[in-house]
Amino acid sequence: MASKTKNNSADAMKQLEKIESQYEMFQILNEEGEVVNEAAMPELSDEQLQELMKRMVYTRILDQRSISLNRQGRLGFYAPTAGQEASQLASQFALEKEDFILPGYRDVPQMIWHGLPLTQAFLFSRGHFKGNQIPEGVNVISPQIIIGAQYVQAAGVALGMKKRGTKAVAVTYTGDGGSSQGDFYEGINFAGAFKAPAIFFVQNNRFAISTPVEKQTAAKTIAQKAVAAGIPGIQVDGMDALAVYAVTLEARKRAINGEGPTLIETMTYRYGPHTMAGDDPTRYRTADLDNEWEKKDPLVRFRKFLEKKELWTEEMENETIERAKEDIKKAIKEADDTPKQKVTDLMSIMYEEMPNYLKEQYEIYKEKESK
């Protein structure tokens, strides 16, 4: 009996190693911008490669300006994105207009590149309902604050698409901390059980506020959590735009072919604080770690790659930066010009038809507002 028990425990450890060995990080570009996986190279035209770089540069500027505008009190809630451009934008770049994005609170850039006007992104930050009135035909929903909720909802959107027979996918994002939530598991498990066309991203930037990923789970990768749902999982270099693009495109293809969902873990880093609401990363992150990840900057490596192909110049970079700054200035102005919210506005968007008690309160506030 004793020896049998021993064998069993040895097998269990082997089992774990075997599972972990299946989740090696997928990479196409190394830190020097060299192609290390030619076979996996996605088919992108020169123009598409340039466009992807422009979006990453633009978004880096957007982050810098947003932090500054937040410090001036001209923006409200803001979760910095610098460092995650490849993870956020190369994944969105692989989507089609019909695809529906359910973002987390840090995923405003994906919404913008999917069609949300910048002005509205700023109104969301400030806390104005008009920021969340998504234009017709833009398939996104406002950033989810309840970590994990977007995952179970994505399973529903994906099932809806499958039932409608649309060739589209539901795409959602959470962070490494979010992978500890019940809704994370329920979301991927439901999508798996219904074989629904969903792509679940975990942007593993190593920290949930101050808590390192090692304190979230003993699992060596988050991608392997896909095993619990019986769906494919992949860990990708989230600082590598081409790798992120390639795995997203692949997951999308599988999904629209009726083969079900995929979990994608992007290994990334946020250079800034968790949010602009007083978080100080020097309390929990070392300068060494920051330096190590700065060398992996997705912009640096993609720039090197494009320069070698003679597809990127300083002029193009500056042009993009100027355009971003101008757009941001204009959008902030538009946000400033948006009429202030009234209580009667908030009442009007509660129900299709106001219940009796709200009608009463509406009259009271209408009277107050007329003075």
Partner 1 sequence: MAQMTMIQAITDALRTELKNDPNVLVFGEDVGVNGGVFRATEGLQKEFGEERVFDTPLAESGIGGLSIGLALQGYRPVPEIQFFGFVFEVMDSIAGQMARMRYRSGGTYTSPITIRSPFGGGVHTPEMHADSLEGMVAQQPGLKVVIPSTPYDAKGLLISSIRDNDPVIFLEHMKLYRSFRQEVPEEEYTIPLGKAEVKREGKDLSIITYGAMVHESLKAAEELEKEGHSVEVIDLRTVMPFDVDTIIASVEKTGRAMVVQEAQKQAGIASQIVAEINDRAILSLEAPVLRVAAPDTVYPFSQAETVWLPNYKDVIETAKKVLEF
> Can you give the binding site for partner 1, defined by CB under 8 A?
100, 129-130, 132-134, 141-142, 146, 149, 151-161, 163-164, 170, 182-183, 186-187, 189-190, 193, 346, 349-352, 355-358
Grouping H, G, I as helix, E, B as strand and the rest as coil, residue 65 is helix
In the complex with partner 1, which residue's Cβ is closer, 41 or 346?
346
Grouping H, G, I as helix, E, B as strand and the rest as coil, residue 262 is strand
Q: How far is the CB of 161 from partner 1 (least distance, A)?
A: 6
In the complex with partner 1, which residue's Cβ is closer, 9 or 356?
356
Tell me the C-alpha distance between 182 and 99, whole Å: 25
Q: How far is the CB of 126 from partner 1 (least distance, A)?
A: 14
- Using alpha carbons only, what angle is made at residue 164 by residues 158 and 168, rounded to the nearest 5 degrees? 50
Beta-ladder partners of 204? 267
Residue length, the chain? Answer: 371
In the complex with partner 1, which residue's Cβ is closer, 130 or 206?
130
In the complex with partner 1, which residue's Cβ is closer, 102 or 306?
102
Tokens of 78: 């803001």
In the complex with partner 1, which residue's Cβ is closer, 149 or 202?
149
Residue 208, number of CB atoms within 10 A of its CB = 19
Q: How far is the CB of 175 from partner 1 (least distance, A)?
A: 18
Dihedral (CA of 215, 218, 219, 220) sign: positive
Residue of 335, 341, 342 lying closest to 122 (CA atoms):
335
Active site residues: 270, 274, 284
* DSSP secondary structure of 269-328: --SS-S-TTT--GGGT--HHHHHHHHTT-HHHHHHHHHHHTT---HHHHHHHHHHHHHHH
Q: How far is the CB of 190 from partner 1 (least distance, A)?
A: 5
Q: How far is the CB of 86 from partner 1 (least distance, A)?
A: 27
